[in-house]
């Protein structure tokens, strides 16, 4: 079946990015402003705020993406809002966002605040590293998450998926409610740990005292601190800060113990070739004059644990919101899953995943409507001009992802949940399908290195779920809210499972 999608590349060919639209050039855009008066940030429309604090009182962190989307509808884009004396511009042009992503890390960066906050908690790894520090870390992580490496890892990945199936089969037998966001995060923590660090913490089988419980507190904390007008936590620790402190202590203890075990294994069973990413990082750290410290290795371990734990799990969870209400689609997926899986309860080998395009398409379509990455944030490293607006170096900018994905110019019937739009041959008969408007994995040199692993997990988990169970939401779907917790997550996703006949 021909695809017009961003679905994972299931060959060993190098990954490539879609070319920019013809005629779009930021430098040309800047040059064109010479013919007209260049706007300043202060010229942009802004919601009415209060003296001194600006719009701070209106920016509930848990609803930030919804507030900004509502303001974008009211004021158009770009607009600005004020956090005390600091303006933040907000944009919805994904082609412009694509262009900025292609110019990272040399002309743009993520918020400097993000790097400083992550540095404070010992998590300033690949995600937030900038400049020269980014490139060697990127090569290391890309090697660990490469297609050949994931193919070799597949038996372990399948075994972890089988443990998840057993957990869900027990819940179906007992008639108990399954909180899918929690179970899926346990799964992704086990997968990430086994793949990148050579250790499987078996959180799926445990009910309490798992590392995922501590990781779950970190993203909401980041959301609060990155958007705070001043770093209050450096002067006073609120109860929530003390809870995060305790969680971070447990997470860092876990990471350091894992590093110690990896070093012991390297001493007891030496190998010139690293067996997983953690060994590769430790080998690089131990090279003479490497300039890499144990703290930097630990920061990347924690970065990968957080990234692997949250985004894929929530993408699958959002897909269940739509699947649970669509019995014909569940049956179609069950039929396709059983055809691919045969007598096995899970996909028997990596090659069979290629026939499960529908399952990744379901997650892709769900994340178009419910984007886990709802906001991208950047600041320029030099003075720039974007669409006739003069932006000084270090100024703050948000790019909202969902408005473009709900635009009929980019996607036909944009409010309709239609996973087949990602599987059809692109032609005029089916209407608009602008893949470049979908930015859930980023773009440019810093495109998400784990996107292929995410696709594998989506196909593997959903095919196992649909082949073996039916899914029913345990609550009214209207009660499930979108929460900004660094990523955009469901407030809950409680379901009841029944064994499929």
Q: Does the bond joining 461 to the residue before it have cis omega, within 30 degrees of 0?
A: no
**Comparison of pLDDT for 424 and 78, the residue scoring more:** 78
- What pLDDT is recorded for position 317? 96
Low-confidence winner among 29-33, 115-119, 364-368, 474-478 (lowest mean pLDDT): 29-33
Backbone phi, then psi, for 189, in 5-degree steps? -65, -45
- Supply 482's token pair: 């979108």
Residues in contact with 109: Cβ distance below 8 Å, sequence separation at least 6, in sequence order? 130, 131, 378, 379, 381
Alpha carbons 290 and 274: distance in angstroms, whole number = 17
Q: What is the pLDDT of residues 251-297, one digit of tens each?
A: 899 899 999 999 999 999 988 888 888 888 888 888 888 777 888 88
Q: What is the pLDDT of residues 376-405, one digit of tens each?
A: 999 999 999 999 999 999 999 999 999 999
- What pLDDT is recorded for position 7? 61
User: In the structure, what pLDDT confidence band is assigned to residue 30 with cuts at 50, 70 and 90?
Assistant: low
From the list 41, 109, 53, 120, the residue with the least C-alpha distance to 78 is: 41
User: For 126, what's the count of Cα atoms within 13 Å in the CB-facing half-sphere?
Assistant: 26
- What pLDDT is recorded for position 9? 57
What is the average pLDDT score of the chain?
A: 87
229-232: long-range contacts at Cβ-Cβ below 8 A with a sequence spacing of 24 or more? 229/53, 229/56, 229/83, 229/84, 229/86
Contact 80, 44 (CB under 8 A): yes
**Comparison of pLDDT for 436 and 309, the residue scoring more:** 436
296-299: long-range contacts at Cβ-Cβ below 8 A with a sequence spacing of 24 or more? 296/125, 297/259, 298/122, 298/252, 298/255, 298/256, 298/259, 299/118, 299/122, 299/123, 299/124, 299/125
User: In the structure, what pLDDT confidence band is assigned to residue 16 with cuts at 50, 70 and 90?
Assistant: very low
Low-confidence winner among 114-128, 194-208, 481-495 (lowest mean pLDDT): 114-128
- What pLDDT is recorded for position 292? 77
Alpha carbons 308 and 456: distance in angstroms, whole number = 13
Helix (H) or strand (E) holding 114: helix 112-120
- What pLDDT is recorded for position 82? 94
Say which residue the tokens 């032609």 belong to: 427
Asked if residue 429 has pLDDT above 80, the reply is no
User: In the structure, what pLDDT confidence band is assigned to residue 127 with cuts at 50, 70 and 90?
Assistant: low
Most confident of 23-32, 102-111, 343-352: 343-352
Q: What is the pLDDT of residues 441-493, one digit of tens each?
A: 877 777 777 788 899 999 999 999 999 999 999 999 999 999 998 889 999 99
Asked if residue 430 has pLDDT above 80, the reply is no
- For the chain, the domains span 26-499
CATH class as words, domain 26-499? mainly alpha
Binding residues: 448
Helices marked H in 198-238: 211-215, 218-226
- Supply 357's token pair: 């395009």
Q: Are strands 487-490 and 396-400 parallel, antiparallel or unpaired?
A: unpaired
Cα–Cα distance list, 382 to 42, 54, 379 (Å): 19, 26, 9
Binding residues for heme: 448
- What pLDDT is recorded for position 128? 65
Task: Quote the percentage of the chain above a pLDDT of 90.
Answer: 57
User: In the structure, what pLDDT confidence band is assigned to residue 427 with cuts at 50, 70 and 90?
Assistant: low
Cα–Cα distance list, 489 to 9, 69, 149, 324, 377 (Å): 26, 16, 29, 17, 18
Neighbours of 369 (CB within 10 A): 17
- What pLDDT is recorded for position 20? 43
pTM of the entire structure?
A: 0.86
Q: What is the mean pLDDT of residues 312-336?
A: 95
Contact 478, 55 (CB under 8 A): no
């Amino acid at each position: 079946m021909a695809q017009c999608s961003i679905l994972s590349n299931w060959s060993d060919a190098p990954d490539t990015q879609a070319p920019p639209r013809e005629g779009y050039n930021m430098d040309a855009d800047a040059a064109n402003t010479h013919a007209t008066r260049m706007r300043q940030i202060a010229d942009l429309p802004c919601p009415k705020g209060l003296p001194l604090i600006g719009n701070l009182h209106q920016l509930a962190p848990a609803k930030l993406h919804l507030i900004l989307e509502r303001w974008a509808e009211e004021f158009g884009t770009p607009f600005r809002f004020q956090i005390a004396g600091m303006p933040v511009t907000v944009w919805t042009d994904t082609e412009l966002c694509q262009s900025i992503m292609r110019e990272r890390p040399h002309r743009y960066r993520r918020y400097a605040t993000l790097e400083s906050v992550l540095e404070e908690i010992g998590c300033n790894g690949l995600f937030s590293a900038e400049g020269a520090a980014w490139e060697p870390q990127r090569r290391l992580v890309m090697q660990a998450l490469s297609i050949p490496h994931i193919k070799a890892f597949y038996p372990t990945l399948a075994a972890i998926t089988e443990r998840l199936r057993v957990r869900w089969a027990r819940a179906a037998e007992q008639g108990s409610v399954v909180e899918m966001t929690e179970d899926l995060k346990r799964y992704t923590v086990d997968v990430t740990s086994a793949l990148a660090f050579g250790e499987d913490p078996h959180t799926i089988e445990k009910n309490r005292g798992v590392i995922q419980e501590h990781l779950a507190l970190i993203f909401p904390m980041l959301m609060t601190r990155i958007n705070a007008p001043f770093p209050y936590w450096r002067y006073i620790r609120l109860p929530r800060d003390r809870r995060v402190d305790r969680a971070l202590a447990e997470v860092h203890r876990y990471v350091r113990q894992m590093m110690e075990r990896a070093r012991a294994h390297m001493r007891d069973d030496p190998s010139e070739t690293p067996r997983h990413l953690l060994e590769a990082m430790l080998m690089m750290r131990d090279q003479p004059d490497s300039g890499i410290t144990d703290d930097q290795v630990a920061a990347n371990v924690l970065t990968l644990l957080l990234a692997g734990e949250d985004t894929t799990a929530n993408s699958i969870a959002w897909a269940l919101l739509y699947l649970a209400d669509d019995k014909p689609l569940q049956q179609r997926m069950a039929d396709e899953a059983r055809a691919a899986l045969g007598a096995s309860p899970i996909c028997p080998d990596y090659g069979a995943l290629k026939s499960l395009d529908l399952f990744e398409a379901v997650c892709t379509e769900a994340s178009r409507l419910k984007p886990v990455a709802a906001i991208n944030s950047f600041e320029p490293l030099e003075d720039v001009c974007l669409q006739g607006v003069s932006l000084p170096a270090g100024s703050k900018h948000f790019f909202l992802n969902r408005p473009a994905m709900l635009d009929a110019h980019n996607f036909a019937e944009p409010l309709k949940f239609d996973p087949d739009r990602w599987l059809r041959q692109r032609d005029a008969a089916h209407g608009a399908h602008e893949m470049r408007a979908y930015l859930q994995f980023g773009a440019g040199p810093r495109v998400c290195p784990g996107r292929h692993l995410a696709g594998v997990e989506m196909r593997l988990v959903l095919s196992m779920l649909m082949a073996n169970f039916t899914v029913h939401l345990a609550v009214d779907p209207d009660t499930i809210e979108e929460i900004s917790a660094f990523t955009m997550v469901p407030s809950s996703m409680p379901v009841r499972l029944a064994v499929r006949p």
